[in-house]
Structure 1
């Protein structure tokens, strides 16, 4: 099977051709800031990004002859995980998405290219996958409900790969998946659904290299009204300039972990504190699964760090076996999902976010 993968980022576009699970051609380019500055809204970049993708394919003499085209999901309305054929309703919601990001263009470009080569077009496990059980949604303030935003694509892909490695299906297992990257998400995967997970984007769970995580509410309220920060600056503290960046002035975990391993302060104290908040979140998800946990999977870029993995293991390995699956292979994960759909190993889902709100399973 020949799979074409498209992954637009804020300032870059990554594309790849896979022969089954094997990447046979990969290309990526950074888009110049002055070129992107010409566009007032990300939707205006559609033709620019599509032409860029087609040009790279032409330059590499790769014909539009694929068995499937798959793209990074985009910031759709909350929807369960899985592989989705791209349809008109999905494209409408991406064009009118509440959150503006270049990833919203991926499915639009994939659909156009798939039409040209008469093959199916998919997305899989977008960041807004929402499978939360009802009790996980409420907070102590009725106007605020918990939102599911996490590293769904990688978290579900490594879960399926781990299940296959032990001769089981993802839907057979209870897993805690810890994605360790610029943001950190810790999810409770119950029989193929992520029934609880921290909002890894903007203000919940562990703090991370760039994000603040959960912080004391009263102190945060006082900071918000102190006059020191604008709303935009406060939001940047939550996502972008929080976490390790706020404490240490850097988000380079490789350097920070090296200094921490040598006992250098404040690097060791701050990094250990971050990992402590990760371990606490793992404990919370263990409770969510009522102790019935087949494995804890550590994934994402920080899972390459021997120091970080060792510190985490000593805090959580008595709960369940700890499985190391480092890195975040978005392109490989997308190809894996497309291939599973083509082979009939992964069922195709229908994008229907409004109806799903009334079709959520009860708490376990």
Structure 2
């Protein structure tokens, strides 16, 4: 069997994760840190492209990695608008979309990967970006004409752990009925119906459960009052608050659930109430997704960083284990998921999509 060498790239706001895989086996993983004083030299995220690309290439050279030995580069997808799930070849059209209105560092992955791959004459891919949209039309309806619910969530990790859970259940992902809960800085709860995520909350813009950094669903009247209160200087400022500084962060000054658990141990009743409220709201969303799947549930998959907390998992199980078996797959294996997406294409198991 042929071995494929796949480089994966996943930029964050102040770092860039890279990893090298031989097939789906990790050879090494590294987080390249970008000090604030270096990033501040660039006016926009897009301006950071050459800087980050050079950091990656320099590290690989220092590591003794021969770039000519790569078979593909697999990149985090970024915010590129609604597209079906799958692995996409980064062609000129996708490159242009990634390069337009770069408001999230993840867009840089495909820009860097496209140019590196072009120099090496190998393919570059993205797999399951956060704007994957498989929602059923009925799931997008709201009470206001012209306003639809949007699909923005942890698509890459949700799809990856759903495949693993299906395998544990001796099923093909395309035959399974699963509810997947990703609990990180944001929280997404998705209904996976035979390989399609037919409903999911918008984990970025204010929908679903209270989360460590995000507001979740809130009463519309109160939001209207806040918008006209003068507390926020612009729509963008308020959007950033809802998506980055709300949730546990706004109440307790931390987005780290371990810190919240320490506060609880020290007798902080507000921390205890908010911790339990987050679990309560996740469970309500799981219950809602159970109705989407008409009660035919093969399993409920819990993933993300918070899934390492046995205390939090216990709170969830108390309310949802009657719905279906709870399968815990903690953490985020995004780098492996990127490699696996590329590998399926390279091995001919899946056809790469294009824009």
1:326 aligns with 2:330: yes
Query: What residue in structure 2 maps to residue 241 of structure 1?
Result: 245
Query: What residue in structure 1 maps to residue 172 of structure 2?
Result: 169
Task: Give the Cα–Cα distance (whole angstroms) in 2 for the partners of residues 350 and 291 of structure 1.
Answer: 35
Task: Give the Cα–Cα distance (whole angstroms) in 2 for the partners of residues 171 and 261 of structure 1.
Answer: 43
Query: What residue in structure 1 maps to residue 219 of structure 2?
Result: 216
Query: What residue in structure 2 maps to residue 304 of structure 1?
Result: 308
Aligned residue for 2:218, secondary structure, equals: coil
1:67 aligns with 2:71: yes
Task: Give the Cα–Cα distance (whole angstroms) in 2 for the partners of residues 336 and 313 of structure 1.
Answer: 30
Deviation string for 1:123-172 (max 9, x for gaps)?
10000001111011121111321110000000000111222233322111
1:187 aligns with 2:190: yes
Deviation string for 1:86-122 (max 9, x for gaps)?
111100111114x512211211221222233332211
- Which of structure 1's runs of 4+ aligned residues deviate more than 6 A? none
Query: What residue in structure 2 maps to residue 80 of structure 1?
Result: 84
Change in 2 beyond 3 A, CA 1:303/1:230: same
Query: What residue in structure 1 maps to residue 280 of structure 2?
Result: 276
Task: Give the Cα–Cα distance (whole angstroms) in 2 for the partners of residues 139 and 34 of structure 1.
Answer: 44
Change in 2 beyond 3 A, CA 1:292/1:261: farther
Aligned residue for 1:102, secondary structure, equals: coil
Q: Is the 8 A contact 2:91 2:354 kept in 1?
A: no
Task: Give the Cα–Cα distance (whole angstroms) in 2 for the partners of residues 323 and 263 of structure 1.
Answer: 31
Task: Give the Cα–Cα distance (whole angstroms) in 2 for the partners of residues 294 and 217 of structure 1.
Answer: 35
1:19 aligns with 2:22: yes
Q: Is the 8 A contact 2:32 2:55 kept in 1?
A: no
**What's the offset of the Cα at 1:233?**
4.0
Query: What residue in structure 2 maps to residue 254 of structure 1?
Result: 258
Q: Is the 8 A contact 2:11 2:106 kept in 1?
A: yes
**What's the offset of the Cα at 1:258?**
4.1
1:1-364 equivalences in 2 (<5 Å): 1-64=4-67, 65-97=69-101, 100-231=103-234, 232-260=236-264, 264-351=268-355
Deviation string for 1:324-344 (max 9, x for gaps)?
000012111111212222222
Task: Give the Cα–Cα distance (whole angstroms) in 2 for the partners of residues 33 and 255 of structure 1.
Answer: 25
Consecutive unaligned residues of structure 1, counting only runs of 5 or more, are: 352-364
**What's the offset of the Cα at 1:263?**
5.8
Deviation string for 1:37-76 (max 9, x for gaps)?
2222222222111111111111111011112210001211
Query: What residue in structure 2 maps to residue 356 of structure 1?
Result: none
Change in 2 beyond 3 A, CA 1:166/1:347: farther
Task: Give the Cα–Cα distance (whole angstroms) in 1 for the partners of residues 232 and 78 of structure 2.
Answer: 30
Aligned residue for 2:280, secondary structure, equals: helix
Task: Give the Cα–Cα distance (whole angstroms) in 2 for the partners of residues 278 and 39 of structure 1.
Answer: 39
Q: How many residues in Structure 1 have an aligned counterpart in Structure 2?
A: 350
Once the two structures are overlaid, the 10-residue window that deviates more, 289-298 or 331-340, is 331-340
Q: Is the 8 A contact 1:261 1:307 kept in 2?
A: no
Aligned residue for 1:112, secondary structure, equals: helix
Consecutive unaligned residues of structure 2, counting only runs of 5 or more, are: none
